[in-house]
Amino acid sequence: MTINNDNDCNKIFDEIIQSRRSTRLFKDEFPSKENIEDILDAGMLAPYAARAVGHNQDFRRFFVFKNGSKNIEIAADLMYKKAEESLDHFKKMVAEKPFLKSEVQLFMEKLQMIVDKGVLGVGTAPYFVIVAELKGVPPVVMESIAHCLENMWLKATQLELGFGIVSITSQMADDDEFLKLLDLPKGKYAINGCAIGYPAKKLPSTKRPDTKMSTKWL
């Protein structure tokens, strides 16, 4: 496939990158199955660490949870329990080693928010999608997942859908019950998740530092 390099395509590509935002509030309306499939196709086309996984073709899998289903309730419940356990663990750790508090404070606040309100994006968005990526050597699996999620994110943006990362999902990769739900073998895959749906409101373009100020040409 050749790339159409005219100015219009370039402009559209820049517009998609500039309009990509994290969506945390969604409308109830479900995007079409075709839209979700297009987003997954974009994810499948993202780079993967071919050598690390021994060129295994089963390097990436997707799990689509629809809001209102029994399975999304089970997933949300297991994730909630995991957040409770982790919060408990960090509380004990900080009680024993108070000097660690500043390092873990923000993560503990996030866990507390889940314990108070549930997992944002799981049951609060039309779709919760998990990406599972085969682990390998060297251990670059989370980088591969990030590439996959970014492709999905840009495709969702182009389809005017909201997208939000649900990074607490990665903590579920070794949870027996969660793995049973996904029918994944223990220890072989890393996972992460995202929420997809129509955004409750359109967010303005993201603000970032001036790239020139953050760049050194050598």
Ligand X SMILES: Cc1cc2nc3c(=O)[nH]c(=O)nc-3n(C[C@H](O)[C@H](O)[C@H](O)COP(=O)(O)O)c2cc1C
Residue 191: closest CA among 144, 121, 126, 124:
144
Spatial strand order of the sheet with 127-134 comes to: 60-66, 127-134, 189-197, 162-166
State in angstroms the smallest separation of the CB of 130 from ligand X. Answer: 13
Q: How far is the CB of 167 from ligand X (least distance, A)?
A: 3
Residue closer to ligand X (CB basis): 45 or 113:
113
CA–CA distance, 34 with 36 (Å, rounded to integer) = 5
> In the complex, which residues of this chain contact ligand X (CB under 6 A)?
21-22, 24, 164-168, 206
Q: Which residues contact 78 (CB under 8 A, 6 or more apart)?
A: 172, 175, 177, 178, 181
Using the minimum distance from each CB to ligand X, give the nearer residue, 40 or 114: 114
CB of 206 to ligand X, least distance (A): 4
Cβ closer to ligand X: 47 or 54? 47
Q: Which is nearer to ligand X, 21 or 27 (CB)?
A: 21
DSSP-assigned states of every residue in 38-104 = HHHHHHHTS---TTTTTT-S--EEEEEEETTSHHHHHHHHHHHHHHHHHHHHHHHHHHH-GGGHHHH
User: Please, which residues bridge with residue 193 across strands?
Assistant: 130, 166
Q: Select 70 or 201, whichever has its Cβ closest to ligand X.
A: 201
For the bound state, the minimum distance from the C-beta of residue 91 to ligand X, rounded and expressed in Å, comes to 20
Q: Smallest gap, in angstroms, from Cβ of residue 142 to ligand X?
A: 8
